[in-house]
Chain A
Amino acid sequence: MISIQGKGVSTGVAIGPLYIYRRAKSTIRRYKVEDKEIEWARFKAAQMKAIEQLGLLAEKARAEAGDDAAFLFETHQMMAEDVDYEEAIQSGIKEDGLNAEAVVTDVGAQFAEMFANMDDAYMSARAADVKDVSGRIINILSGVVQGGIDSDVPVILASDDLAPSETVQLDKSKILGFITAGGSGSSHTAILARTMGIPAIIGVGDQVKEEHEGREVIVDGGTGNIVIDPDPDTREYMIQKRKEQLRKLELLNQLKSLPNITKDGQEIRVYCNIGNPEDVHAVLANDGGGIGLFRSEFLYLNCDDYPTEEYQFEAYKQVLSDMDGKEVVIRTCDIGADKMIDYFELPKEDNPALGNRALRICLNRPEMFKTQLRALYRASAFGKLSIMFPMVTSVWEVKEAKKLCEQVKAELTAEGKPYSDEVDIGIMIETPAAAVISDRLAKVVDFFSIGTNDLTQYTLACDRQNNDLGRFFNAHHPAVLRLIKMVCENAHKEGCWCGICGELGADLELTETFLSIGLDELSVSPRSVLPLRQKVRETTVSEVRDKLLDDLMSDMVTI
C-alpha cells in the first residue's frame, strides 16, 4: 500500500483503477515562411476554428456544469480574438516572417508570463487560460487531435496539470476522480471538479508514477489522501466512508433549501460552528443558514505573537464576504483553560478552567482586545456580523466590553474607516452565574448563545475531559435543561434571541425539548445541519411540548 498526501480541492471518495492522461505531443517546428500573407491567413483560419470550437465547448460546459463553467470558454473565445494578442501574433508573422505555430507559442508564453507574475492568486491562475487558448490554436495549425480516455471502465485520472478545456472535453462518465501534479485550488479544473461533484486532489508532484498505472487507487478529496493498492482494512474503511457520503448527498438533495420548520409551523434557525475561514465551504455545502459560532482562537493559535489587526481583518472579512449577507457570529478571543498560548505569558494556574481565561484576559489587556474589536468592526462592512463575548459572569463585564466597542467605533469614525452600524452584541451563556442572572444580562445584549459544553461542566462540577466520572456526568441533566429553559425565557422577555452553540445542539434526542423550550437557533457542526433539519421537519411541537416541559419542571424524581 502506498499513501500519498496532496491537497484536496473537491470532496468525495472514489475508488478505481489509475489512468495516466497522456497528451498527444506536438513538436513545434520553427522556420521562416516564404509567403507571410499566406501564413497570416493560415493563422486567421485556425483562430476562427478555435473560436468555433470554444463556442461548442461553452455549450457543452453549460449543459454539464452551468453558466459559470460556460463562461470560462467564452473568456477563452475573447482571449483568442483579443486585439493585443492578435497584434503581437501579426507582428511575429508579418514582420519577423516566422511560422504561425512558433509565433503563437511565443506570444502565448509571453502573455501567460505576464499573468503568472501578477501578485494575485486569481490573476496568476489566468496564465493557464492563455496557454490553453494558444495550445488550441497550435493544435489546429499542426493538425493534432487531443487524446481522450482509452479505457472501458471508469478510472481515476492522473495528469501533470489539466487545462480547463481538457477537463471539460473529457468523457465524465469515465472519470471517478482527478489527481494532478500541480495546480491551485482556484484553478478551473478544481472549480469544475467541485461543480461536477468529482473528487479531486492537486499538488501531488511526482509521487504518482507511470508504474502505478492500472493499479487500484482510492482518492479522498476531503482529506487530500491518495492510497495506491489499499490493504483490506483501508479499502473497507474508505468504502464505508464513500457509502456514508452518498447517503449524506442523498439527504442533502432531499433537504437542501427546505426550511427548518416543524409540521405545525414552528421555525428554528440552524447555523454552524466553525474554527477556520476555510470551513465556510462545508457550511455552504451543508446548507447552513449562517454561522452561529466562529471561534477566533485559530488566529491566535496560528501565530507566534499577537496577531495583527490586518491579519485578523482579512480572515473575518473573508468569512463575512463568503457567507454573502448571512449572519456570522464571531466569538472574541477564548484563550485560557485548555487552550494555552506561550506568547500570552499566562502564569500557571492550579485550576485553569476557573482561572484567567477568555473575556477576563481581554478585559485585563484592553489593547489586545481592541485590536480584535477594530478588526471585527472593519470587517463588519462586508457582511452581517454579530460579536459574541465568551465566559461572562457579571453585567459589568459586558458593559466594560461594550464600552471598548464604542471606543473602537469612535476611532474608526475619526479615521474615516467604514463599519456597519448594525452589529449585534451577544454573549455566551456558559457559566451558572450568567444563566442565573440572564434576566439582567438580557437587558444589555442583543442575543444569548448557550455554550452547553462549559455550562454542563460548571453546573455539574464534572470535568468533561475526565472519563472516570462516567455516570456522574449526564449531558441531559435536568439542571442544565432547566437552565436552558430559564435563559431562553429571560432572553425573550427582553426581545433577545437565544440559541445553543454547544455539542448538545446537535443531539437529536433533545431536538423536541429545544423546540418546546422555544429556542431560536441551534448552531452545530456543518455535517449535523441536515440530520437536524430532518428531525425538526418530522416534529409536531404542539403534540410533545406540554409533556416534555412538565417532565422537565416537575418535582417527581425521574433521574
Chain B
Amino acid sequence: MSLDDTLTPAQRDNLRAIAGVIIPASAQFDVPGADEPAIQADIVATLGRDAGLVRQALDEFARLAGSPLASLNPERRDAVALELRAKGGAAVATLTRIVLQCYYRDDRVVRSLGLEPRPPYPKGHVLEEGDWTLLDPVRARPKLWRPA
C-alpha cells in the first residue's frame, strides 16, 4: 500500500460509519455489517486507484455531518448518509462500490448467500443441460433470414 492509498484516522472512522449505514449487521441473516473490522481492513487494503475518490466522498460525508460522526446519534448519521447518497456523483458511487465489492466477497457473507467462498477457477460449476425439446417449435419454422 502506498501513502496515496491510505486514509487518515478521521477518514477511517467515517468509512466505518458510512459502511455500517449502507450494510448494517443482521441477526436475521447472521451476517456482519460492512463496518466489521475484517471487512473494513479489506476495504482499506484494496482502495488502490480508487483512494482519491473514496477520500473525497468521506470528506464530503464529514462536511455534511458538521461534527464528528462518532458523536452523531444513529438517526442523524443515517440522515446524513442518505443525503450523501442523494447527492450522487463519481466519488459517492466509487465509495459505495468499494464497500459492496468487499462485503460481498467476505467468506461469512458469501456462505450466508448459499455460495461457496472460493474463486471460480479451478473447480468451476455444473450447468444443467436443459430440455432441448423446447427447440421443437423453432425447428418447425420456415427460414427467417433474407436471401440477398
The reply to whether chain A is a binding partner of chain B is: no
